Amino acid sequence: MPTLAVLFSAVGPTAPDATASAPEGSAPPTPVPVSPQGGVLLSRADNERVAHLVATALRERGHAVHVLGVWAGVPVERLRNVDAVVNLLEGLEGDSSREAEATEALQRAGIPFSGNAADTLGRCQRKEVCRRLLLEAGVPVPAGTVLHAVPMEWPAGVPAPVIVKPAHEDASEGIDARAVARDLAGLQAAVRRVVVEMGQPALVEQFIDGREITASLLGSPPQVLPLGEIDFSTLPAGRPRIVSYAAKWCPESDEYQCTPSVGARLDATVTARIETIARRAAAALKLRDVARLDLRVDARGGAWVIDVNPNCDLAPDAGFAKAAARAGLSYGEMLDRVVARAVAARPDRRAAASA
Ligand SMILES: Nc1ncnc2c1ncn2[C@@H]1O[C@H](COP(=O)(O)OP(=O)(O)O)[C@@H](O)[C@H]1O
Ligand SMILES: [Mg+2]
């Protein structure tokens, strides 16, 4: 029976590294707390809840499972006796920009872990790098450019309207109705918020006004699960059809309540097109075990990748688990496939002991 350790990002220094210091002075006085590395400080304490749900489901599948909160650093010595780690880490010391660093510690220690390699996490954390790799692989991405300062004129090659996103963030941090700009004044204000207030480069991307589709990739090699869609149909008129920060994280907001994730009903041609794009993106970014692509489909049926989320949320109520359920997989069956590669990669302890 494999022994697994589920690692999650704790919201403060707790055991085992209770002596670790809090990131003192790391949050400047801006509306969005930003770390010295430029990442938004994690404020979503959901990671621990998910870790316990994952552990319970994997125990029901016959694994022995520990759950471990991580704050300042990955306690690799405590993981020597586990067969594999279920990596739910989203950063270190509350800093989302350190997600790849946390995973690299597992790699360096030679501990098999589920989810994506540090390289892949690092590439996807930088939207401009991710976009370039996708483009090189022939995956359609909307026209876009990265700005480091507030522009004096409209950027060439990016038709209006646009959406302005922090280039190194995920989880819709910094994205609300003001992120969609149709004129220069709106663009300047949106870029100012990202560059000045969040301390990050701003990705200005053509706004694709269409359906939003999610493609979940499970296992290694990745299988494209039945597509999901964000249903914007009940969103009050006048609201941009986007998955804003509130839509993801504020259950009391109408943005949250009016953007449910449902099964996508697309014609066969568009479905096939998106599946091909998803497989190509997975190869280009070396995605494995678990990942979700966000796409937009325009009026002509053209599909555009707007975001890649390796190690996306594994909560039972999140889009990934819903997609697995559409494929007929229970939560536990889905998790078994997420961890299968790492479990198979575990060193043979009996061989090591008898050597
Ligand atoms: N190019 C785009 N066209 C239309 N909507 C977009 C575009 N880029 C982002 N969005 C909207 O903004 C949301 C968040 O953007 P995304 O790139 O997925 O960032 P995050 O990494 O924060 O999830 C998306 O789910 C989508 O609703
Ligand atoms: Mg996204």
Does the residue 317 lie in any domain? yes
Does the residue 49 lie in any domain? yes
Same domain, 224 and 313: yes
- Check whether 341 has a pLDDT greater than 60: yes
What is the β-pairing status of strands 84-87 and 113-114?
Answer: parallel
CA 6 to chain centre: 18
CA of 208 to the centre of ligand 1 (A): 9
Token pair for 133: 């790799």
Q: Which pLDDT belongs to residue 34?
A: 55
Between CA 297 and CA 208 the distance in angstroms is: 7
Listed residues 74, 95, 115: the one ending a domain: 115
**Which atom belonging to ligand 1 lies closest to the Cα atom of 210?**
4
Cβ < 6 A, ligand 1 pocket: 142, 163, 165, 169-173, 175, 205-208, 212, 242-243, 294, 296, 306-307
Does the residue 25 lie in any domain? yes
CATH number for the domain spanning 94: value is 3.40.50
Does the residue 191 lie in any domain? yes
Does the residue 184 lie in any domain? yes
Q: Which pLDDT belongs to residue 266?
A: 95
Token pair for 129: 């790098």
Same domain, 333 and 222: yes
CA of 77 to the centre of ligand 2 (A): 34
Same domain, 319 and 225: yes
Residue 288: is it exposed, middle or buried by C-beta count within 10 angstroms (0-12/13-18/19+)?
buried
Does the residue 224 lie in any domain? yes
Whole-model pTM? 0.90
CA of 133 to the centre of ligand 1 (A): 18
SS3 sequence of the chain: CCEEEEEEECCCCCCCCCCCCCCCCCCCCCCCCECCCCCEECCCCHHHHHHHHHHHHHHHCCCEEEEEEECCCCCHHHHCCCCEEEECCCCECCEHHHHHHHHHHHHHCCCCEECCCHHHHHHHHCHHHHHHHHHHCCCCCCCEEEECCCCCCCCCCCCCCEEEEECCCCCCCCCCHHHEECCHHHHHHHHHHHHHHCCCCEEEEECCCCEEEEEEEEECCCEECCCEEECCCCCCCCCCCCCCHHHHHCCCCHHHHCCCEEECCCCHHHHHHHHHHHHHHHHHHCCCEEEEEEEEECCCCCEEEEEEEECCCCCCCCHHHHHHHHCCCCHHHHHHHHHHHHHHCCCCHHHHHHC
Per-residue pLDDT tens for 306-335?
Answer: 999 999 999 999 999 999 999 999 999 999
CA of 62 to the centre of ligand 2 (A): 33
Same domain, 335 and 221: yes
Between CA 87 and CA 349 the distance in angstroms is: 21
- Check whether 190 has a pLDDT greater than 90: yes
Same domain, 259 and 295: yes
Same domain, 197 and 225: no
- Reported as a pLDDT band with limits 50, 70 and 90, residue 31 is very low
Domain count across the chain: 3
Q: Which pLDDT belongs to residue 21?
A: 35
Q: Which residue has the tokens 């299988």?
A: 223
Same domain, 196 and 272: no
CATH number for the domain spanning 243: value is 3.30.470.20
Between CA 355 and CA 352 the distance in angstroms is: 5
Q: Please check whether residue 335 is in contact with residue 282, taking contact to mean a CB–CB distance below 8 angstroms.
A: no
Does the residue 348 lie in any domain? no
Listed residues 206, 227, 243: the one ending a domain: 206
- Check whether 125 has a pLDDT greater than 70: yes
**Which atom belonging to ligand 1 lies closest to the Cα atom of 309?**
21
Same domain, 191 and 79: no
Listed residues 178, 206, 234: the one ending a domain: 206
CATH number for the domain spanning 177: value is 3.30.1490.20
Domain enclosing residue 100, as ranges:
3-115
Same domain, 305 and 256: yes
Same domain, 240 and 201: no
Per-residue pLDDT tens for 279-312?
Answer: 999 999 999 999 999 999 999 999 999 999 999 9
Q: Phi first, then psi: give them for residue 321, nearest 5 degrees.
A: -65, -35
Does the residue 281 lie in any domain? yes
Per-residue pLDDT tens for 126-174?
Answer: 999 999 999 999 999 999 999 999 999 999 999 999 999 999 987 778 8
CA of 13 to the centre of ligand 1 (A): 32
Same domain, 48 and 157: no
Best mutation site among 172, 198, 258 for ligand 1, i.e. most ligand atoms within 8 A of its Cβ?
A: 172
The Cβ of residue 276 has, within 10 Å, a number of other Cβ atoms equal to 13
Best mutation site among 194, 211, 307 for ligand 1, i.e. most ligand atoms within 8 A of its Cβ?
A: 307
Same domain, 224 and 329: yes
Best mutation site among 126, 165, 309 for ligand 1, i.e. most ligand atoms within 8 A of its Cβ?
A: 165
